[in-house]
Structure 1
Amino acid sequence: MNLEQSIEKQYDIMDVSLLAGKIMLESGAETYRVEDTMMRIAASYGIKESHSYVTPTGIMFSIETEEPTKTKLMRISDRTTDLKKVMLVNSTSRRISNGELDVPQAYRILKQIDRSEETYSLKIRIGAASIASGCFLLMFQGSTADFIPAVITGGIGFMSVVYFQQLISIKFFAEFMASFIIGLLALLFIQLGIGQELDKIIIGSVMPLVPGLLITNAVRDLMAGHLISGLSKGAEAFLTAFAIGSGIAVVVTFL
């Protein structure tokens, strides 16, 4: 293999590592897991020393060879929760480590994972959010008479946050409006005599919007020593909680 082919192969390995890291980070994986997976993939293809630096909004990856150090940067703009994609990338990484996949095969598989649709359709996610809202109400010792109002309110609230995120890219605005709508609907059910406990209906309905995975990842990143990622994810979780609380507060205070 001549020098030009060697350099081209190294860049291909970097592309595979970066693509794996991009999919995992966009799907809700922890920072340390993303960095570890990228370096393991590079090591499996013969890169003796590699370095990755991951934040919630970007990935930098470099490899050290006999030639000058090569570095690539990838911007991350969209983040969601899709743990199935994280599992698929982990499975692909293990196959790479076992020597089952060469570089082109691994890149092709990762591209298919990246292009695949979300694990569950919007209807299923709205239905799950609705049922979860009712179950959360019961978990917080709410009355069974409020189960249906919580199911309806939680489902419409989750549907609202999806709609507003498509309408405008500002996540804070979407979460604020969704919680505002939840507060209005809960208040409407109380005034119509369908619901009994306003606070329990609201608490159950907003739970699907609470950034539980984000908070968990923030704590795990901080414990693993990734201070920048941990603090930024914590700040994002705080803004989400503030948006939810503000939307409910507006309804309770002024209506």
Structure 2
Amino acid sequence: MSLLDVLFKKTNYLCSNKIAVLMKKFLLIVLLILTTVNLFAQVEKGRITFSADGNFTKTTSQNGVTSNQTVAQVKEMTLGTSIGFFLTDRFVAGVGLDYLWNKESRLATTSMQKFLHVESMWLQTKAFAPYIYLGYYYPVANRLYFNSNLNLSYGKAKSKYRSQILGMVYDSDDGYTTTTSDDDSNPDLFSVEILPELTYFVSSKIGLFLGLGGIGYSIVDWESDKSGWLVNFNPTYWEFGLKLNL
């Protein structure tokens, strides 16, 4: 083999390596473009966003034995809607309205020899809570964001309460005695909350989000200063929702 042939093969080898390296770089650039295209198109400045979400839970608990038993059932539903405007890329401000509904019932039964004692309680609460919010979107992956909202809300609740106590003695001519009490109230509802969410945009206009609970401080009664902190990240109370960007 001549020296010219060796140089020719060496040149072809080097050229093929350079082409392979260039192809790899080109593929990496294409992949990077595909994974980042429209990354901020869903949360860019000037967009208007609508959202709707909700959650429903039902829990039942039972304690005690046959002669001394307590049964409780709690149903809760939340529905919400909001509209916001992106002041900058990823930073949004807006207003919203939440509807809260809660129903709780308890029944306690005590039986001792010939005596029977029964207590029942029923409580229902409804409330509309308008709010303002500020939110920020942090990109996690293509079209997937971790966002958090700061909500300030105030509303009036309507609560109805009823309790009944029954007592009787078996094999007695005295029959039974009952005591019933009713109460209606309209407490204030003021709260400040930080609510984290995960949002995935199916397209540039439609997104699905999952509310992950949150941390909040609420005041129920201004006069008696009934207030407290609430930290709840229980998946039972996570909310699922839909976003529409224009």
Tell me which interval the TM-score lies in, with the shorter structure as reference length.
under 0.3
Q: Give the structure-2-normalised TM-score.
A: 0.23
Q: Which has the higher helix share?
A: 1
Q: Give the structure-1-normalised TM-score.
A: 0.22
Q: Which has the higher strand share?
A: 2
| Pair member with larger Rg | 2
